[in-house]
Amino acid sequence: MLFNHDEFDHESVTFAHDPDTGLKAIIAVHNRRRGPAIGGCRMMAYPDEISALTDVLRLSKGMTYKCAIGDIPFGGGKAVIMGDPATQKTPELLRAMGTFVEQLGGRYITSFDSGTTIDDIAVIGETTRHVGGIKPGAGNASASTAYGVLVCMREAVRIRLGAETLSGLVVAIQGAGNVGSRLAKLVAEDGGRVVIADINQDLALSVAESTGAASVKADEILSMDCDVLAPCALGAVFSADSVKQLTCPVICGGANNQLADNSVADELMERQVFYCPDYLANAGGIIDLHYQLNKPSRDALKAHLDRLAETLQDCHAIAAEHRCSMASAADLIAEARFQ
């Protein structure tokens, strides 16, 4: 099953088991042609080992595409720890995880993800040098993620609506967390009219209040009459069913894995919805990590994030040339950069 899998073509998959600390973990290195594999360390109570393996294979491959589209000298990797972060995460287990990362000799660099925090990565960093995103004074990657979404959004409305700026356009943001709240501020500063929703309605209200946005109920945001829809909450938000309620001409947001499956990209194309591929729109986070690790220069970071607009233009040109969806066009660009 593993060596003949059509979808997965990983360089290496390594398993670790440390009975003393209870660590059960998998590190998948997908592709290192652009540089060492980088990706977060997720901790989750997976129902079984195959679920953990499937997750780490899928996520590490996604990181290869994200690093390539973000044009940074890294490949794709990911780590998963099997266990409930609320009850099974101990400093000893995290240090054992660090030893596991160290054993790969720098082929994989870890960072935080669902179920792990920056503080956890600092503990992992006690036993390995190969960690990112924990330097004191480093910027918050969510700020770069939100800025990258803004850069793509400006370009998307220029291409699809012929609008030179966001001024006066209605931007509906789903999710008022790290990315959504920062994006709301940036869009408002650009003159956009923000409408925001979160399942935590108090959070949505407080972000609306501080940015001059309006807030609506969480179940109203997808069908809002708006110019841009910015998903900044959960994955798989667009399915064959949910796209039917869309009225927006542009989708550009920070959430990962926005499409439930590949057929949704074609459906969006048929509906003439300009979809900014999710891993391009949110590449700012990983680009930020690259600058934290290698070149701590805010000016160079901003210039790099601004270049996401050119990549979106390239996607649009390739989609037109190949008559394919924007998601497929992004994959073609990424693959040409890492194969």
| 78 noted as active-site residue | yes
List the x/- string, 169-198, binding to ligand NAD by CB under 6 A: -----xxxxxxx----------------xx
Q: Does 282 bind ligand NAD (CB under 6 A)?
A: yes
The answer to whether residue 142 forms part of the interface with ligand NAD (CB under 6 A) is yes
In whole angstroms, the minimum distance from the beta carbon of 234 to ligand NAD comes to 5
Q: b/e for 74-83, b at 16 or more Cβ within 10 A?
A: bbbbbbbbbb
Contact status: 224 vs ligand NAD (CB under 6 A): no
Assess 313 for contact with ligand NAD (CB under 6 A): no
Contacts of 262 (CB under 8 A, 6+ apart): 327, 328
Residue with nearest beta carbon to ligand NAD: 177
The stretch among 24-32, 74-82, 140-148, 294-302 that binds ligand NAD (CB under 6 A) is 140-148
The answer to the question of residue 203 lying near ligand NAD (CB under 6 A) is yes
Q: Quick one: 142 or 325, whose CB is closer to ligand NAD?
A: 142
**Cβ distance to ligand NAD smaller for residue 27 or 197:** 197
C-alpha closest to that of 70 among 296, 309, 293, 261: 309
Count CA within 13 A, CB hemisphere, residue 307.
11
- Binding part of the chain for ligand NAD, among 35-43, 168-176, 262-270, 300-308 by CB under 6 A, reads 168-176
Catalytic-labelled residue, pool 24, 61, 78, 185: 78
Q: How many other CB atoms sit within 10 Å of the CB of residue 129?
A: 10
Strand partners, 251: 229, 275
230 is a contact residue toward ligand NAD (CB under 6 A):
no
d(CA 107, CA 214): 46
Give the helix/strand (H/E) hosting 278.
helix 278-281
Question: Does 218 help bind ligand NAD (rule: CB under 6 A)?
Answer: yes
Query: What radius of gyration, in Å, describes the C-alpha atoms of the chain?
Result: 20
| Options 2-10, 89-97, 188-196, 231-239: segment touching ligand NAD (CB under 6 A) | 231-239
Nearer to ligand NAD, 216 or 332 (CB): 216
- How many residues sit in the footprint of ligand NAD (CB under 6 A)? 25
Question: Checking DSSP bridges between strand 23-31 and strand 193-197, what pairing results, if any?
Answer: unpaired
Please, which residue, 107 or 182, has the CB nearer to ligand NAD? 182
Residue 24's beta-bridge partner residues? Answer: 17
The sign one gets for the Cα dihedral 140, 143, 145, 147 is negative
Q: Which is nearer to ligand NAD, 123 or 197 (CB)?
A: 197
- Kindly give the residue spans of alpha helices, DSSP state H, lying in 162-200: 178-189
Min CB(18)–ligand NAD separation in Å:
28
How far apart CA 72 and CA 286 sit, in angstroms, is 8
Q: Which two tokens stand for residue 318?
A: 């390739």
Q: Considering only residues 253 through 272, tell me which ones interact with ligand NAD, judged by CB under 6 A.
A: 254-256
Cβ of residue 38: shortest distance to ligand NAD, in angstroms? 13
Residue 232 sits at φ, ψ, to 5 deg, of -135, 35
Nearest-angstrom CA–CA distance, 285 and 136: 17
Residues at the interface with ligand NAD (CB under 6 A): 141-142, 145, 174-180, 197-200, 203, 218, 232-235, 254-256, 282, 285
Q: Which residues are catalytic?
A: 78
